[in-house]
Amino acid sequence: MDISLFDYDLNTDLIAQKPCVPRDNSRLLNCTKEVVEDLRFKDLPTILNPGDVLVINNTKVIPSRLFGKRDLVNVEVTLHLKLKNKIWRAFLKPGRKCKINDTITFQNNLKAKVLEKYIEGDVLLDFNKKDEDIFKDVNYQGQMPLPPYIKRYKKSESDNIDYQTIFAEEDGAVAAPTAGLHFTEELINTLKLKGVLFAPITLHVGAGTFLPVKVNNIYDHKMHEEYGYLSTNTSDIINNAVHNNKRIISVGTTSLRILETIAKLRNGQIEPWSGVTDLFITPGFQFKIVDLLITNFHLPKSTLLMLVSAFYGKEKTFECYQYAIRKKYRFFSYGDGCIFSRENNN
């Protein structure tokens, strides 16, 4: 399947640079009906029913952009995947002249040795401190790893709060699960009073989520790995809902990937699980768990747009995107939301 099938034109004026205030006043395109409906995100309770389950990602973004020196050269390092104690994969800028065994020095005597360079463009780093001390240093000297389409002339302290969901608890992501950015305490309380259930999962979103698909045939693309975790309690909530014919609503593509990864490994069942997933969802994928998907509007030619096209149907997805463009919805991480129903449920 050709990558050009997932391309579209977008005026840069529609790329959100800041979040909506309050968060739940962002727009919500309801694509669960025959005719799309323009709502606010705070109207979400009108779409959901008592007993529905919202699966939310409780990962917490770490300020993983670090600034150091390789000899006399200034280097920007973005950590994107923790492999084991002290070992991280990371992107370097500039990285072309970096060599294996080079050492990068940061503040507070934090150092990292380059162990390997990958054809994907990133490197393997071995730090000189334990994990807990690395996290302390990262939280002290790092910056939020905002996507490249969010332009900042200087560091904005508000991004430390804005680029974190209200559900954030588990350190480890280097990108926010942006569908969760729309929720407020008031909205959560309204949903709970209606009888909607919340089920947390963890998927530590990696910077690979921003990597463009560079192959012409999407099936030649290698998906990046991300670590995930699903508890016994969440498993019970989801299985009880399925047993009682209630809907499973994934808040974001990250939650969906965890659920469908487990279902694929466990013959359509949800069970407690931890591990890495590199599940690449493209049109033709057979979904087993998720009934509705809440998400943001995604970049052209991205794996996330392919996932939504697989879930809702490619033609209908692009019709909704063109509608959103005409109606001047705000796109990408700090942008507006949309909600889709699974194609074979329509």
pLDDT tens digits for range 303-333: 999 999 999 999 999 999 999 999 999 999 9
Residue 97 is predicted with a pLDDT of 87
339 plus 230 within the same structural domain: yes
Asked whether residue 157 is domain-assigned, the answer is no
192-208: buried (b, 16+ CB within 10 Å) or exposed (e) per residue? eeeebbbbbbbbbbbbb
Q: What angle do CA 219, 318, 289 make, to 5 degrees?
A: 65
199 plus 339 within the same structural domain: yes
Q: Which runs of consecutive H residues, i.e. helices, occur in 223-343? A: 232-243, 253-265, 303-312, 314-326
Residue 148 is predicted with a pLDDT of 86
Contact criterion met (CB below 8 Å) for 331 and 15: yes
Among the three residues 114, 142, 170, which one is the final residue of a domain in this structure? 142
121 plus 215 within the same structural domain: no
339 plus 223 within the same structural domain: yes
Asked whether residue 149 is domain-assigned, the answer is no
Helix, strand, coil percentages (3-state) for the chain, rounded to 5, are 30, 30, 40
Query: Residue 276: enclosing H or E segment and its boundaries?
Result: strand 273-277
Structural domain boundaries, residue 93 = 65-142
57 plus 79 within the same structural domain: no
Report how many domains make up the chain: 2
Residue 222 is predicted with a pLDDT of 85
194 plus 314 within the same structural domain: yes
114 plus 28 within the same structural domain: no
Q: At 76, which CATH number?
A: 2.40.10.240
CA distance 207 to 278: 13
Query: Residue 122: enclosing H or E segment and its boundaries?
Result: none
CA distance 69 to 263: 45
72 plus 200 within the same structural domain: no
Asked whether residue 171 is domain-assigned, the answer is yes
Question: Which residues are bridge partners to 127 per DSSP?
Answer: 112
Taken in order 310, 311, 313, 314, is the CA torsion positive or negative? Answer: negative
Distances (CA, A) of 39 to 170, 186, 295: 31, 17, 14
Give pLDDT tens digits for 41-53: 999 999 999 999 9
Distances (CA, A) of 101 to 110, 116, 124: 16, 8, 10
Among the three residues 142, 170, 204, which one is the final residue of a domain in this structure? 142
Closest CA to 344 of 311, 306, 305, 320: 311
Among the three residues 95, 112, 142, which one is the final residue of a domain in this structure? 142
Closest CA to 251 of 191, 186, 302, 162: 191
Q: At 266, which CATH number?
A: 3.40.1780.10
Residue 346 is predicted with a pLDDT of 39
99 plus 198 within the same structural domain: no
CA distance 56 to 31: 20
106 plus 172 within the same structural domain: no
- Cβ neighbours of 121 (radius 10 Å): 12
What tokens does 282 get?
């493209």
CA distance 72 to 95: 14
CA distance 319 to 302: 17
CB proximity list for 100: less than 8 A, separation 6 or greater: 114, 115, 116, 117
Residue 155 is predicted with a pLDDT of 65
Asked whether residue 147 is domain-assigned, the answer is no
Asked whether residue 154 is domain-assigned, the answer is no
Contact criterion met (CB below 8 Å) for 131 and 137: no
Asked whether residue 151 is domain-assigned, the answer is no
Provide the whole-model pTM. 0.93
CA distance 137 to 107: 8
Asked whether residue 152 is domain-assigned, the answer is no
209 plus 176 within the same structural domain: yes
Residue 318 is predicted with a pLDDT of 98
274 plus 230 within the same structural domain: yes
Asked whether residue 156 is domain-assigned, the answer is no
What tokens does 284 get?
């033709």
**pLDDT tens per residue, the chain (346 residues)?**
999 999 999 999 999 999 999 999 999 999 999 999 999 999 999 999 999 999 999 999 999 999 999 999 999 999 988 888 899 999 999 988 899 999 999 999 999 999 999 987 889 999 999 989 999 999 999 999 998 899 876 667 899 999 999 999 998 899 999 999 999 999 999 999 999 999 999 999 987 666 778 899 999 998 888 899 999 999 999 999 999 999 999 999 999 999 999 999 999 999 999 999 999 999 999 999 999 999 999 999 999 999 999 999 999 999 999 999 999 999 999 999 999 999 864 3
